[in-house]
Amino acid sequence: MGHSRPTLADVAGAAGVSVSTASLAFSGAGPIAAATRERVHAAASELGYSGPNPLGRSLRSGRSGIAAVVIGDQLRRSFRDPVSVQVLDGLVSTLGQMGLGVLLVPGMPATEGTTGVDPLLETAPMDVAVLIWGSREDDPALLSLQRRGVPVVIGEGPAVEGVPVVGIQDRRGSEELVRHLADLGHERIAVVSLPFGGPRRCAVVSPERMTELRWTPTKHRLEGFQDAGVVPTMVVEAAASLVEEGQAAGRLLLDVEDPPTAVVAQSDLLAAGVLLAARDLGMRVPQDVSVAGFDGIDLPWLAPDVLTTVAQPLAAKGEALGQTVAALLAGEQPEPALLPVTLRTGTTTGPPRT
């Protein structure tokens, strides 16, 4: 046994018991005399044995205790968004309480230009995977995981046969928000949308581009307009949910002859960017233009303004994802979850200028 780390067999030998008994002393499963357990633990600390090797345990039990969280895109981009972070936070703590660790896996290969999926997705140990956001029907990551036989949970994504989804009432929330603006008297409402999927860009959306819309939350939040019976005067697609992008999009929308009287951004960060753009252009909010967001995150630097937005329960979403994972591991077929949202009116929306 040389100088390598001691194994359960070493401990058993030192304690004068069989390997199976030593295992029992650690796992606690099955009956074992207190004295024996004591003796085994003593031998263990004597030898510097720090508990059963997870690798051996995993092989035997067939479980790794690891849940992979697949990040749709670049980590940097994803994590700059507080929405993602708060969901991830809820997920990590929920899974942690179940004894599951979270393995971060990029959804796309690290080296640009490569097709296929990140090798980790194909080779890393995992009992279950969560596509936390940004998944699509034809997601190569999804296909790869299904081929491996790994159970999958999708957050904020499309309905896929046999894959449980956890989402929020994007559509209804958006509808409420649009109605709020319509009730205030707005007739010219523009949209700054989240990415459509596919190549990222910050640009006015053409009718053709509209047909390429793949990303589910973007789609649902747009559909809220239909439900409210309002047609946006213009849609600008942002390359990511970031303040800078919102600012660029805001310039595109507001720096024109006849700007809209209200702008609905599909995320709070984008809305914040639009506010900055309005400020840059010397427009007052909400007198010259109303601005609304989506998500309900804290934006302390917006004070004294308060953003009108649709608040979603972010920590609860992470928790719901965790519960779904638990159900999946227990062999159940979890129902899709659709969490409620609430309209939160702030100071950035008001009646249009007459």
Which positions touch its own copies (CB under 8 A)? 5, 48, 50-51, 54-56, 58-59, 62, 64-66, 74-76, 79-80, 82, 85-86, 88-89, 92-93, 96-97, 99, 101-106, 110-111, 118-120, 122-125, 147-149, 243-244, 247, 272-273, 276, 298, 300-301, 303
Tell me the closest approach of the beta carbon of residue 318 to DNA, in angstroms.
29
Q: CB within 8 A of 140, min separation 6: which ones?
A: 116, 117
Tell me the closest approach of the beta carbon of residue 208 to its own copies, in angstroms.
31
Q: Give the one entry of DNA, its own copies, none that residue 244 binds, where binding means its C-beta sits below a cut-off of 5 to 8 angstroms depending on kind.
A: its own copies
Instruction: Show the binding pattern over residues 59-98: x = contacts DNA (CB under 7 A), - = does not.
Output: xxxx------------------------------------
Q: Give the one entry of DNA, its own copies, none that residue 261 binds, where binding means its C-beta sits below a cut-off of 5 to 8 angstroms depending on kind.
A: none
Q: Give the one entry of its own copies, DNA, none that residue 31 binds, where binding means its C-beta sits below a cut-off of 5 to 8 angstroms depending on kind.
A: DNA
Tell me the closest approach of the beta carbon of residue 84 to its own copies, in angstroms.
9
Alpha helices in 98-205 (DSSP H): 119-123, 140-148, 170-184
Break the chain down into helix, strand, coil percent, rounded to 5: 45, 15, 40
* Secondary structure (DSSP) of 151-182: -EEEES---BTTB-EEEE-HHHHHHHHHHHHH
Q: Sort residue 153 into left (φ over 0), alpha (ψ -120 to 50) or beta.
A: beta
Q: Which amino acid is at 321?
A: L
Alpha helices in the chain (DSSP H): 8-15, 19-27, 34-47, 54-61, 75-79, 82-97, 119-123, 140-148, 170-184, 207-211, 216-228, 243-254, 268-280, 314-329
Pairing of strands 203-204, 262-265: unpaired
Q: In this chain, which stretch among 4-12, 126-134, 174-182, 345-353 interacts with DNA, using CB under 7 A?
A: 4-12
119 binds DNA (CB under 7 A): no
124 binds DNA (CB under 7 A): no
Q: Give the one entry of its own copies, DNA, none that residue 33 binds, where binding means its C-beta sits below a cut-off of 5 to 8 angstroms depending on kind.
A: DNA
Tell me the closest approach of the beta carbon of residue 110 to DNA, in angstroms.
22
Q: Contact at 8 Å (CB) between 71 and 78?
A: yes
**Which positions lie near DNA, rule CB under 7 A?**
4-5, 7-9, 16-21, 23-24, 26-27, 29-33, 35-36, 52-53, 55-57, 59-62
